[in-house]
Structure 1
Amino acid sequence: MKKISDLFSRHSRKRILSQSFFLGALATAGVILNAFSLSLKVDAQTPLPIVNNTEIDSYAQAVLAMEPARQNAFEEIKKLIGNGEIPKIVCNDSNSFNGLPKKAQDIAVNYCTRAQKIVADNGLSFDQFNKITLELQNNNMLKRQVYDSLLRLQQTPESR
């Protein structure tokens, strides 16, 4: 009868040791490659900023300045349409005015003209403003920056 020590002969122990070493090396390589892979994903997912802080502040100022005019235009159009649904009005898409009665179209055009002036007065082109608006739909970091800027701009001077 063989002793247990005989089962783990020198040859057998070498083989187990080399297998353990191989599996350990394989596991270590997997961990390193996984960490490297995650690092690459994080770097690749961090977008370059499309907007700088000055543009964010300009955007927020324009939004704040436009809001009262937008609300007034919306209320006027709502009165004209009554219980009907107000279509989405997009200033750079004249087709979005088509579903409105003539007087409501005039209100929308007047609002859009004022909005373009407000955007320009705040240092942005209308294209830049629209680009930021579109980017806000998918970029939570930019949303947060604009939100923070809006909050800061709405603070009363004595609370700053």
Structure 2
Amino acid sequence: MCSVGLLLVPALLPYSLAQTSPRTDVIAPWEITTYARVVLEIEPIRQKYYRQAQAAFQGQVPSNACFGMNPQHIPSGLEAICASYGWEAIQVLKKYNMSLEQFNAITLRAQQDSTLSRRIQAEMLRLQQP
């Protein structure tokens, strides 16, 4: 399922990568398209590493796995999963010339702005059309 409500993509990113400030300017239509493409490409990656984390922790993945967690407090065995996910997610961002700061800013805005959230969801659906 790919919805803005599920966009906890940075959930397995290392603490230092996930802590960014939101932008305050208007989000352009091309940014929404780019963001939607990134989300659609990162989501299967996030799911893959989440399944790995579930397997490593017998289905009990810490609720704040990597994201928002001080790197020194990441449970043993989760560090490599977090690092691999973070690296792959960053590669997708680079592919679309989107910075982590831009991605996180749009994610935060979408969580606070239902109109933006609906625009992103509509764009994701449009991009998935044959």
Cα shift at 1:122? 1.3
1:127 aligned onto 2:97: no
Aligned to 2:46: 70
Unpaired segments ≥5 residues, structure 2:
1-23
Return the alpha-carbon distance in structure 2 between the equivalents of residues 97 and 64 of structure 1.
31
Matches within 5 A, 1:2-151: 50-89=26-65, 93=68, 95=70, 98-102=73-77, 104-151=78-125
Q: 1:144 to 1:75 in 2, by over 3 A?
A: same
TM-score (norm 2): 0.73
Cα shift at 1:58? 0.5
For each residue in 1:48-76, what CA deviation from the matched residue of structure 2 results, as whole angstroms up to 9, or x when unmatched?
Answer: 96210111000000000001110010000
TM-score (norm 1): 0.60
Q: Which has the higher helix share?
A: 1
CA RMSD of aligned residues (A): 2.1
Cα shift at 1:96? 6.2
Return the alpha-carbon distance in structure 2 between the equivalents of residues 90 and 144 of structure 1.
28
Could you tell me which amino acid in structure 2 is paired with residue 100 of structure 1? P
Residues 89, 96 of structure 1: 8 Å contact kept = no
Return the alpha-carbon distance in structure 2 between the equivalents of residues 52 and 142 of structure 1.
11
Q: What is the percent sequence identity of the aligned residues?
A: 27
